[in-house]
Amino acid sequence: MSRDIYWGKSECGNGWLHRYEILEQHHDYVMEVCEICHEPAYFKLINGKSDNFDYLDHHLRQALFKAHPQYYREWKYNFYD
């Protein structure tokens, strides 16, 4: 899978963005898995916090605003359709 410079590590496949769910949480890391492709993502915690840049690079779906062209597809349609 190619990594788009705009979507970074958030690109999942077939035009979707990753939809992560927390699977494990420990004192030094959090493991999340995409509900679409089941790709795991690990986020190292330092003093209870993750690297914001890396975290956002994986979670751009959560930062989409309503006027963004991708917003309606990500939040209104089901990827199973």
pLDDT in tens, 39-63: 999 999 988 888 888 899 999 999 9
Q: Are 15 and 73 in contact (CB under 8 A)?
A: yes
Coil, helix or strand at residue 59: coil
For residues 20-26, average pLDDT: 95
For the entire predicted model, the pTM comes to 0.80
pLDDT band at 4 (very low <50, low <70, confident <90, very high): low
CA distance 23 to 32: 5
How many CB atoms lie under 10 A from the CB of residue 73?
14
Q: Which CB contacts under 8 angstroms, 24+ apart, belong to 35-42? A: 36/12, 36/79, 37/12, 37/13, 39/12, 41/9
pLDDT (0 to 100) of residue 15: 83
Residue 50 is predicted with a pLDDT of: 85
Tell me what percent of the residues of the chain surpass a pLDDT of 90.
48
